[in-house]
């Protein structure tokens, strides 16, 4: 099963590029940009990754982002992630980035998006990995900051497919960003949002109803509402679930308690993703293996996570068909 999972084609839909900043690269960039970080070694950084909730993670996440200053830094960060994708046979990825985490400290929006975009373009030509870029608003910041970020994105609409909403759910309801999302939709952006991770199941309803999102990031709290479960299954509203992240941030204590396989078997369009792999202990193959090791699953069920992700992706129907055929052929060969 390990060999099957390693070579299985994969599609990632929930990945924060800033969350792929490995300790070694963090130190390299800090030195290159003459930035002081509160750690003396990569070992110290890893020891600090013992989070007890989302906020404790975010504190270090934004600290790490401080080393990202120049376009080359964002390129190097993204390219390092794409090499992990190649190792894990990720054939398509949809990458989140948090422009406000950088513009708030004086980094130009164009510096961020151009560095990421150039690496993704290189990934397509040199590694054969297709990609889309999703701009997230930080929900702990105010509506005005989100509107300003949306305005900054106008010059880069050719690079950005969708807008999202991340950072802490607690105390920052979807209603705070209803007007921003409405404007983004009017401008042609697709929409996603984090909901139902640390926040209550009502946050999932609000994201769907107020923000008109096309897929839900996390969404694991949906299990608390059977009517919602039926709606998600019937309407094939995707959930981009992040198993190792959920364990690391104490959403579930143990992987065997995770509801992802139960949701899959109830017919929901659930997908496996790595979220912030440098901080949460694993990229795509690691997440697939963690779920498989904790739950008794057959190969068809495991491959269904990829087929669901293809269905939920923001690529053309023609490209979806190609990736589905590729995945099905792989499954048929290894049944």
Provide the sign of the torsion angle of the four alpha carbons 270, 275, 307, 162, taken in this order: positive
Spatial separation of the C-alpha atoms in residues 22 and 306, rounded to whole Å: 26
Give yes or no for a contact between 327 and 300, defined as CB atoms under 8 angstroms apart.
no
Residues in the chain: 335
Catalytic residue among 18, 197, 301, 311: 197
Spatial separation of the C-alpha atoms in residues 107 and 71, rounded to whole Å: 10
C-alpha distances in Å from residue 45, one per residue of 7, 24, 30, 50, 235: 31, 9, 13, 10, 42
Spatial separation of the C-alpha atoms in residues 15 and 273, rounded to whole Å: 7
Tokens of 283: 């990229």
Q: DSSP label at 257?
A: G
Spatial separation of the C-alpha atoms in residues 280 and 276, rounded to whole Å: 6
- Told to judge if 197 belongs to the known catalytic residues of this protein, a careful annotator would answer yes
Q: 167: burial class by Cβ within 10 Å (0-12, 13-18, 19+)?
A: buried
Active centre residues (catalytic): 197
């Amino acid at each position: 099963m390990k060999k099957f999972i390693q070579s299985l084609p994969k599609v990632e839909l929930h990945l924060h590029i800033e969350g792929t900043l490995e300790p070694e690269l963090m130190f390299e960039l800090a030195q290159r940009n003459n930035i002081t970080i509160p750690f003396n070694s990569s070992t110290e950084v890893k020891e600090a990754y013992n989070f007890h909730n989302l906020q404790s993670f975010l504190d270090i996440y934004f600290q790490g982002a401080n080393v990202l200053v120049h376009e080359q830094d964002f390129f190097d960060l993204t390219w390092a992630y794409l090499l992990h994708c190649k190792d894990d046979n990720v054939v398509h990825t949809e990458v989140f980035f948090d422009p406000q985490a950088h513009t708030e400290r004086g980094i130009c929006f164009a510096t961020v998006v151009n560095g990421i975009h150039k690496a993704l373009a290189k990934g397509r030509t040199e590694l054969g990995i297709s990609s889309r870029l999703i701009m997230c608003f930080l929900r702990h910041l105010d509506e005005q900051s989100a509107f300003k970020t949306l305005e900054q994105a106008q010059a880069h609409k050719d690079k950005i497919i969708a807008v999202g909403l991340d950072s802490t759910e607690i105390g920052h309801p979807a209603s705070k960003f209803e007007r921003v999302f409405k404007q983004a939709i009017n401008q042609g952006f697709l929409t996603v949002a984090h909901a139902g991770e640390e926040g209550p199941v009502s946050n999932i309803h609000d994201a769907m109803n107020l923000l008109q999102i096309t897929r839900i990031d996390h969404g694991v709290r949906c299990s608390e509402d059977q009517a919602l479960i039926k709606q998600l299954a019937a309407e094939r509203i995707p959930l981009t679930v992040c198993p190792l992240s959920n364990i690391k941030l104490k959403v579930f204590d143990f992987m065997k308690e995770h509801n992802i396989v139960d949701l899959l078997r109830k017919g929901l369009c659930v997908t496996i993703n790595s979220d912030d792999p440098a901080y949460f202990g694993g990229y795509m193959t690691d997440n697939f293996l963690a779920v498989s090791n904790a739950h008794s699953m057959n190969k068809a069920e495991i491959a269904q996570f990829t087929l669901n992700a293809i269905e939920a992706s923001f690529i053309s129907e023609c490209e979806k068909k190609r990736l589905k055929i590729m995945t099905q052929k792989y499954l048929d060969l290894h049944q």
